[in-house]
Amino acid sequence: MGVEIKERRVTDAEFEEMKQFVFEYLAASVEKEEEGGRMRWYPWHSAEYRHNHILNVVELATEIAQKEGADVDVTRVAALFHDVAKLETDQELHAEAGARVAREYLESRGEYPESFIQQVCRAVEQHSYQGDLSDVALETQCLIEADLLDKVGANGTALMLLRMGYEARTHMDSDEMVERVLERGYNAASRVESETAEGIAHQRLKRVKWFSEWLEDEIAGMGD
């Protein structure tokens, strides 16, 4: 949809192939690990969740990139690969490892210019950056913003409630847990740089606020 002015470097068919690769990579990371891995029962640690999170980040990052004038292909390919190594590597190393997987994949296809590969890998490598978002390239910024935004809002709330089930908590704890999602949302809103991401952050924050108010309104003894 829409008018594509720039020449596309990554066709939709190529992008679908990349998706397939990333999801197979995630599933294989879980299969080959030994018993007693990294709390795989936790909602955030399954290949299915990671797969879904990546799709959400691709969508959010693409929207932000389009509206903010970033290179859409660099951004969406980086978003797709950003957590590819998450299930096989420690948290502190997964960004670097993901960039290596992305480079290997893109080089093996042989048709992408080195400058494109470099930009994609830089964004993947820097997506865990904790500093000011005005320090990084625009495409990296779009990716980090999208990654932050997927943890807040209705989706973040649903995951937090799911986690309560795994932890055998009762629903009376839900106001406290939703409060954590809200806090995360405030942090995300204060960190994002672009107007597009700010708009999405506020919309999602509002949803969590509503939900927490509804809970307190409906459940006796909650929020006192």
By beta carbon distance, the residue nearest Fe ion is: 147
Burial label for 94, CB within 10 Å (0-12, 13-18, 19+), is buried
CB of 140 to Fe ion, least distance (A): 13
CB of 33 to Fe ion, least distance (A): 19
Looking at residue 33, the DSSP 8-state letter turns out to be: S
Give CA–CA dist 216/218, Å, rounded.
6
> Comparing C-alpha atoms, which of 99, 100, 80, 98 is closest to residue 89?
98
CB of 76 to Fe ion, least distance (A): 14
Cβ closest to Fe ion, residue 10 vs residue 124: 124
Contact 213, 222 (CB under 8 A): no
Where would I find the H helices in the chain? 12-32, 47-68, 72-81, 94-109, 114-125, 138-149, 153-166, 174-191, 195-218
> Comparing C-alpha atoms, which of 187, 189, 60, 74 is closest to residue 138?
74
CB of 194 to Fe ion, least distance (A): 17
> Comparing C-alpha atoms, which of 166, 208, 164 is closest to residue 186?
208
Contact 95, 128 (CB under 8 A): yes
Give CA–CA dist 147/80, Å, rounded.
11
CB of 127 to Fe ion, least distance (A): 7
Q: Which residues bind Fe ion (CB under 5 A)?
A: 83, 147
CB of 147 to Fe ion, least distance (A): 4
